[in-house]
Amino acid sequence: MSAPHGHKADGTPITDEMVEAMADEAERGYDVDEILRRRSGGRPPMGSAPSSVESVRLDPELKRDLLLRAAEENITVSEAIRRAIGQYLRAS
């Protein structure tokens, strides 16, 4: 018996037999429509189009204040940033 090719998420070793079975399945082809029907999860949509991720630099004090405020309001840091930007844009 050869060494495992890694482990599945549950810790089960991936054996040569499992690799062969997966290769056979791939060679037979997949039903893309079925895969898309079973697909679920992901982040919920925000707004009318796909969201973008923006990067900002925060000094340590601002980051600390942001973390504390988000924790006080029991929201994520991302939500706190979105709210702050929204308030800023509505104020102008």
Domain match, 29 and 60 both: no
In a domain, 48, yes or no: no
Per the structure, the complete domain to which residue 87 belongs is given by: 56-92
In a domain, 16, yes or no: yes
pLDDT digit string, tens, across residues 5-36 = 888 889 888 999 999 998 998 889 888 888 87
Q: Quote the pTM value.
A: 0.52
In a domain, 46, yes or no: no
Specify the pLDDT at position 32.
84
Domain match, 32 and 63 both: no
Domain match, 92 and 61 both: yes
In a domain, 3, yes or no: yes
User: 69 burial class (0-12, 13-18, 19+ CB within 10 angstroms)?
Assistant: middle
pLDDT digit string, tens, across residues 43-90 = 777 787 778 889 999 999 999 999 999 999 999 999 999 999 999 999
**Could you give the CA distance from residue 31 to residue 1 in angstroms, rounded to a whole number?**
33
Q: What's the number of domains the chain is made of?
A: 2
